[in-house]
Amino acid sequence: MTKLLQINSSLSGDDGYSSALTNRFVEQWLASHPKGTVKVRDLARHPVPHLDAARLHAFITPEEKRTEEQQEIVAYSDTLINELREADIIVIGVPMYNFGIPSTLKAYFDHVARSGETFRYTENGPEGLLDDKPVYLFAARGGLYEGTEADSQTGYLNTFLSFLGLHSTQFVYAEGMAMRGAKERALEKASAKIEQLAAA
């Protein structure tokens, strides 16, 4: 049974363009994979706490020395990491806010990037510890940024995911969503790509 993990990060929830794209992909994917299962993590409805000193110290404190509070923090992080481990496919909705990713998605990343769990440093440099699997990223932007220096998302997301061992990324862009006449073309183009990917 194929397991899909869907991560939405739009502050507008299901009304956000990036969420609409991930939802459309999942709907079409389920039609092509009726035995598949979907786990949804909505970072707007259930935000991950932002990293602070207490949470950081919990992650780096040896297990036998953790306080009860630190154990709870690590257990929460373990839940997020296990969702990534168990998934066969990962789908992430990524709106662009002020030229970056949502802070809620960054907080999520801060909880799943843990030394000894999802990456480690070797004599040859960092090594990701997650098994590689398809990661589909649906990026919705108000303007046109793909392929320009203003696209701060694509390089960052590829770098971060590769750091964990997730190298098989594919981006679907819906750009110009705030530009007159561009939104319809962008959604049409993204929908065609979604249909292609979901059937694979």
Q: What is the DSSP letter of 193?
A: H
Q: 68: phi > 0 → left, psi -120 to 50 → alpha, else beta; which?
A: alpha
Q: What is the predicted pLDDT for the residue at 1? A: 87
Would you tell me the crossing angle of helices 17-32 and 182-198 to the nearest 10 degrees?
A: 30
Q: Which residue has the tokens 């398809």?
A: 134
CA atoms within 13 A on the CB side of 36: 22
- Alpha carbon 76 to chain centroid distance? 17
Angstrom distance (rounded) from CA 92 to CA 107 = 14
**H or E element at residue 90:** strand 89-95
The whole domain housing 137 covers: 3-198
The model's pLDDT over 70-91, given as tens digits with 9 standing for 90+, comes to 999 999 999 999 999 999 999 9
Residue 142 pLDDT greater than 90, yes or no: yes
The model's pLDDT over 21-46, given as tens digits with 9 standing for 90+, comes to 999 999 999 999 999 999 999 999 99
CATH number of the CATH domain containing 67: 3.40.50.360
Q: What is the predicted pLDDT for the residue at 10? A: 97
Q: What is the predicted pLDDT for the residue at 200? A: 82
pTM for the model stands at: 0.95
For residues 112-119, give the mean pLDDT. 97
Q: What is the predicted pLDDT for the residue at 180? A: 84
Number of separate domains in the chain:
1
The model's pLDDT over 1-21, given as tens digits with 9 standing for 90+, comes to 899 999 999 999 999 999 999
Angstrom distance (rounded) from CA 125 to CA 98 = 32
Among residues 59, 68, 66, 89, the alpha carbon closest in space to that of 168 is found at 89
The model's pLDDT over 159-193, given as tens digits with 9 standing for 90+, comes to 999 999 999 999 999 999 999 888 889 999 999 99
